[in-house]
Amino acid sequence: MSRFMDRLKERVLILDGGMGTALMEYDLDLEKDFLGLENCSEILCDSRPDVVKDIHRSFYEAGSDAVETNTFGSNKLVLAEFDLTERTRELNRIATEQAREVADEFATDDWPRFVVGSMGPGTKLPSLAHIDYDTLEDSYAEQARGLIDGGVDVFLTETSQDPLQIKAAINGIRLAQREAGVDLPIISQVTIETVGTMLVGTEIQAAATILDAMDVDMMGMNCATGPAEMSEHVKWLGENWPKPFSVLPNAGLPMLVDGKTTYPLQPAEMADWVARFVEEDGVNLIGGCCGTTPEHMKALRDKIGFQAPKDRGDVKLEPALASLYNQVPFRQENAVMAIGERTNANGSKRFRELLNEEDWNGITRVAKDQVKEGSHTLDVCTAYVGRDEVRDMTEVISRFRGDVTIPLVIDSTETPVIETALKLYGGKALINSINFEEGEEKAATVLGYAKKYGAGVIALTIDEDGMAKEVDDKMRIARRLYDFAVNQHGLPAHDLMYDPLTFTVCTGNEEDRKHAINTLDAIEAIANEMPEVQIVLGLSNISFGLKPAARQVLNSVMLHHAQRRGLTAAIMHSSAILPKHKIDEEEYKVAEDLLFDRREEGYDPLHKFIELFKDKEAKGGPEKKKPETIEEVLKERIVDGDRDGIEEDLDKAMEKYEPLEIVNQHLLGGMKVVGELFGAGEMQLPFVLQAAETMKAAVAHLEQFMEKKEGEEKGTMVLATVKGDVHDIGKNLVDIILTNNGYNVVNIGIKQPCEAIIEAAEENNADVIGMSGLLVKSTVIMKDNLEEMRGRDIKTPVLLGGAALTRNFVEQDCSEAYGDGVVEYAKDAFAGLQLMDRLTGNAQPEQEEAE
């Protein structure tokens, strides 16, 4: 461990403020001082070392523990714009030596001072195809060489706007360190814009997942915003990032005053904010970015003194993959991680045809369709005889990385293809796959890529003797894979995803009858013995040889049992999986008999299963007897996600009921069944979403017949689905019911961060804030939001609603989190209306008595 990291454990360290802001205080001449190189601050290390050292000195005098080298733009690509490429290493060395000289002036045994090597984002973003990965990595490697030459203590990649750029910088640093035989810490700071993401659209959760896979020593945030706008993200890092982290805000959001950019946050006000980050969120390294001065750093030192960092306890980052945009946890709530299989040339005829036609737009549509169907990741394989796999993979990944919002699984048997894909992808991918069929050399190469580019790995239970079919063989190879990947090559256990292999049970051969049993037993054994790892199946293998209708049922039944035994992921066509309630009881029983080899004299489940499907085509489920009453028809439509022609049934129901009665008494009854099936693990998320879309269509049709109450609006609610949650049917129902009862509803949509909710509430002078979410993790986010609002001294009443909420959690935990503010539990949309009436003073006397 370095001296810097050791010191960081003992006390919160203060970095310096803005170099650019400090330089503006000097009357520097373009020709004399900048040598005619406008905006090239780095040349001042050569032309005006006195100015650079004076700035470093001013920050040390203010109480900073460390300063950044004047090398923000000193990589080869940026310096090329000034014809200084050949001086990259030299300028970085000189800059570091200058900072080192001043640091040594101030350093004592009790108070060491450090030099941090600043490495900015450059001017080209690889995820937007401005620059290729190899050129970028080489540029950063040369910069790192100079920083090492000068005696830097720690590297800082800062103001990063693209995860792929960060990967190139980190790997460039590591290359230079290997050459020099040193091992210095790496800090990676991302810039989250006012919209709540990095410039290319990356959320803080995805950025953390990617940086964790890159094994940086610290992550943090700097630039773009002031501390107020950072607060929600800082809180998330404090609760989820397991290593030290840093925060270097601007002195507020920039303002243009008399044609000059100014930053409004004064030293004392900024110190109050940053001290809160230290005391409440456990930040380890603080400082400032644009607009911050030595006075800001002195105010920080006066405010926090020399305190030790807060003990954040056992913080763990949720194991996950990430696209360029979003984090996707390996362990899905009440579901397996669905890996879409239709962008694989080996398994999809349509994909092969599009690939051969080079219809890249068509290929992208196939990917997007799988996202809509509920896939969590996409398996991408471009291996096709007669075609250039590297070229095709480059074309596909270059499109998918920006157009597909879910993570990718890079699927190839060729290591050059795998590395090509990883060099294009800024997210955290999954590599498919490694095994020991050809020994360990190839597996070692792939694991090296996983560590270098930050990826997980699928591992098949195959060794030099072939594919394991018996449980003991599967487990023997699984243990060997674990030792090889985790212990020998340093892959985190949670990034190792086993495929214990399954084979068809449909040949009729005696040796094939136990394949499903062996696979399920192996899944359970792996889950018990190695609980941190993930487990995946290529689901359709189990039914190979059957008709499509029979395969659909057998695959669905196999998935149901595998999930209960410990399966965490499946390569499958999500829309071709049936939930248990949609499978005919006899078909389900015979499928189980086939999987578990329950043969009896005179009864072979394989023969019986084939007979059941001899005249059937694959559909959305068995034919059901249509309900006799319109009430049951509507309920069943919601459960089955059947929206075709629903308007006619709704019109028929309105002959008997008012529109709001239909919603409240019949449609919501169907959604309640959906919730119960989802909670029991008997309905996959795609079917929940289908039900929600049907509900949405029904309510949209009924809304036009709902009579909005006339008169002045009775109050305003700002309504949102919380961050990380895409479910909006409950929220939209609240919107409709409140709007039709005289309220103004500002519905700001799904996945809304706390800051957006607060801003909307303030802009619209909200009487009440409504937060909604379906997932269990959404309840935690609601509580976090309330704590953040309490810290901002907001006291607007809040209504919370969602399937995973309980009255006890809201009235105890959430109420405590909000302090003096009012928090209420709305068990459904109509309860929300009653609460809204009460909170705005519009409740009728009989309502008050009833409550």
Q: Which of these ranges, 92-106, 361-375, 768-782, has the smallest mean pLDDT? A: 768-782
Q: Give the amino acid at 782.
A: M
Q: Can you read off the two tokens belonging to residue 626?
A: 């249509």
621 assigned binding-site residue? no
Q: How many C-beta atoms lie closer than 10 Å to residue 110's C-beta?
A: 6
Question: Looking at the structure, do residues 343 and 408 belong to the same domain, yes or no?
Answer: yes
What was the pLDDT predicted at 625? 60
Say if CB 68 and CB 41 are below 8 A apart. no
How far apart are the C-alpha atoms of 295 and 66, rounded to whole Å?
15
Greater pLDDT, 256 or 245: 245
Q: What is the CATH number of the domain that holds 720?
A: 3.40.50.280
Question: Looking at the structure, do residues 839 and 749 belong to the same domain, yes or no?
Answer: yes
Quick check: is 435 in a domain? no
Quick check: is 573 in a domain? no
Give me the phi and psi of 470, to 5 degrees please: -90, 150
How far apart are the C-alpha atoms of 401 and 424, rounded to whole Å?
8
Q: Which of these ranges, 55-69, 227-241, 657-671, 706-720, has the smallest mean pLDDT? A: 706-720
**DSSP at 279:** I
Residue 1 banded pLDDT, cuts 50, 70, 90 = low
Contacting residues for 661 by C-beta, under 8 A, at least 6 apart: none
Residue 621 banded pLDDT, cuts 50, 70, 90 = very low
Mean pLDDT along residues 406-435 = 97
Residue 850 banded pLDDT, cuts 50, 70, 90 = very low
Question: Looking at the structure, do residues 284 and 335 belong to the same domain, yes or no?
Answer: no
Quick check: is 222 in a domain? yes
Question: Looking at the structure, do residues 248 and 387 belong to the same domain, yes or no?
Answer: no
Say if CB 716 and CB 743 are below 8 A apart. yes
Say if CB 473 and CB 521 are below 8 A apart. no
Question: Looking at the structure, do residues 168 and 87 belong to the same domain, yes or no?
Answer: yes
Question: Looking at the structure, do residues 10 and 156 belong to the same domain, yes or no?
Answer: yes
Q: What is the CATH number of the domain that holds 42?
A: 3.20.20.330
Quick check: is 112 in a domain? yes
What was the pLDDT predicted at 774? 75
506 assigned binding-site residue? no
Choose among 59, 28, 58: nearest CA to 44. Answer: 28
724 assigned binding-site residue? yes
pTM of the model: 0.81
Question: Looking at the structure, do residues 263 and 347 belong to the same domain, yes or no?
Answer: no
How far apart are the C-alpha atoms of 226 and 204, rounded to whole Å?
16
Contacting residues for 139 by C-beta, under 8 A, at least 6 apart: 75, 76, 77, 88, 122, 168, 172
pLDDT above 60: residue 622: no
Mean pLDDT along residues 820-848 = 81
Helical segments of 384-538, H only = 389-403, 415-424, 441-453, 471-482, 515-529
pLDDT above 60: residue 782: yes
The bridge status of strand 66-68 relative to strand 462-463 is: unpaired
Which of left, alpha, beta for 288 (phi over 0: left; psi -120 to 50: alpha)?
A: beta
pLDDT above 70: residue 336: yes
Q: Give pLDDT tens digits for 532-574.
A: 999 999 999 999 989 999 999 999 999 999 999 999 999 988 7
Final residue belonging to a domain, choices 394, 428, 462? 428
Quick check: is 82 in a domain? yes
What was the pLDDT predicted at 307? 95
Say if CB 559 and CB 626 are below 8 A apart. no
Compute the mean pLDDT over every residue in the chain, rounded to the nearest whole number: 91
What was the pLDDT predicted at 849? 46
828 assigned binding-site residue? no
> Residue 24 to residues 20, 225, 261, 415, 472: CA-CA distances in angstroms?
6, 20, 11, 50, 70
Mean pLDDT along residues 133-141 = 98
Q: Which of these ranges, 47-56, 134-143, 192-201, 475-484, has the smallest mean pLDDT? A: 192-201
Q: Which domain holds residue 836?
A: 716-850
How far apart are the C-alpha atoms of 643 and 650, rounded to whole Å?
11
Mean pLDDT along residues 706-719 = 74
Q: Give pLDDT tens digits for 140-160.
A: 999 999 999 999 999 999 999
40 assigned binding-site residue? no
What was the pLDDT predicted at 760? 93
pLDDT above 80: residue 403: yes
What was the pLDDT predicted at 768? 96
**DSSP at 413:** S
Mean pLDDT along residues 662-677 = 77
How far apart are the C-alpha atoms of 58 and 21, rounded to whole Å?
13
What was the pLDDT predicted at 679? 62
Contacting residues for 390 by C-beta, under 8 A, at least 6 apart: 414, 416, 417, 420
Q: What is the CATH number of the domain that holds 349?
A: 3.20.20.20
Q: How many C-beta atoms lie closer than 10 Å to residue 820's C-beta?
A: 7
Say if CB 568 and CB 336 are below 8 A apart. yes
pLDDT above 60: residue 686: no
What was the pLDDT predicted at 620? 47
543 assigned binding-site residue? no
Question: Looking at the structure, do residues 239 and 99 belong to the same domain, yes or no?
Answer: yes
Q: What is the CATH number of the domain that holds 688?
A: 1.10.1240.10
How far apart are the C-alpha atoms of 282 and 286, rounded to whole Å?
11
Q: Can you read off the two tokens belonging to residue 512?
A: 């094939």
Question: Looking at the structure, do residues 113 and 201 belong to the same domain, yes or no?
Answer: yes
Quick check: is 80 in a domain? yes
Question: Looking at the structure, do residues 131 and 248 belong to the same domain, yes or no?
Answer: yes
pLDDT above 70: residue 305: yes
Question: Looking at the structure, do residues 19 and 159 belong to the same domain, yes or no?
Answer: yes
Contacting residues for 160 by C-beta, under 8 A, at least 6 apart: 121, 166, 169, 188, 189, 190, 191, 198
Say if CB 741 and CB 703 are below 8 A apart. no
**DSSP at 751:** S
Q: How many C-beta atoms lie closer than 10 Å to residue 316's C-beta?
A: 10
Mean pLDDT along residues 119-131 = 94
Say if CB 811 and CB 825 are below 8 A apart. yes
Say if CB 574 and CB 340 are below 8 A apart. yes
Task: Work out how many domains the chain is built from and give that number.
Answer: 4
Residue 689 banded pLDDT, cuts 50, 70, 90 = low
223 assigned binding-site residue? yes
What was the pLDDT predicted at 52? 97
512 assigned binding-site residue? no
701 assigned binding-site residue? no
How far apart are the C-alpha atoms of 55 and 398, rounded to whole Å?
43
What was the pLDDT predicted at 729? 67
Helical segments of 181-263, H only = 204-213, 227-240
Share of the chain above pLDDT 90, in %: 72
Q: Give the amino acid at 477.
A: I
What was the pLDDT predicted at 684? 57
Say if CB 482 and CB 493 are below 8 A apart. yes
Question: Looking at the structure, do residues 179 and 296 belong to the same domain, yes or no?
Answer: yes
Choose among 643, 688, 636, 642: nearest CA to 667. Answer: 636
> Residue 46 to residues 92, 100, 145, 225: CA-CA distances in angstroms?
10, 15, 18, 31
Mean pLDDT along residues 629-651 = 86
Final residue belonging to a domain, choices 253, 270, 304? 304
> Residue 754 to residues 283, 757, 758: CA-CA distances in angstroms?
20, 5, 6
> Residue 168 to residues 125, 214, 452, 467: CA-CA distances in angstroms?
11, 11, 10, 37
How far apart are the C-alpha atoms of 100 and 621, rounded to whole Å?
71
Quick check: is 253 in a domain? yes
Greater pLDDT, 628 or 15: 15
Final residue belonging to a domain, choices 703, 735, 766? 703
Q: Give pLDDT tens digits for 180-233.
A: 999 999 999 999 998 889 999 999 999 999 999 999 999 999 999 999 999 999
620 assigned binding-site residue? no
Strand partners, 56: none
pLDDT above 50: residue 820: yes
pLDDT above 60: residue 707: yes
Mean pLDDT along residues 291-317 = 96
Q: Which of these ranges, 163-167, 511-515, 614-618, 842-846, has the smallest mean pLDDT? A: 842-846
pLDDT above 50: residue 711: no
Quick check: is 358 in a domain? yes
Q: Can you read off the two tokens belonging to residue 744?
A: 């103004």
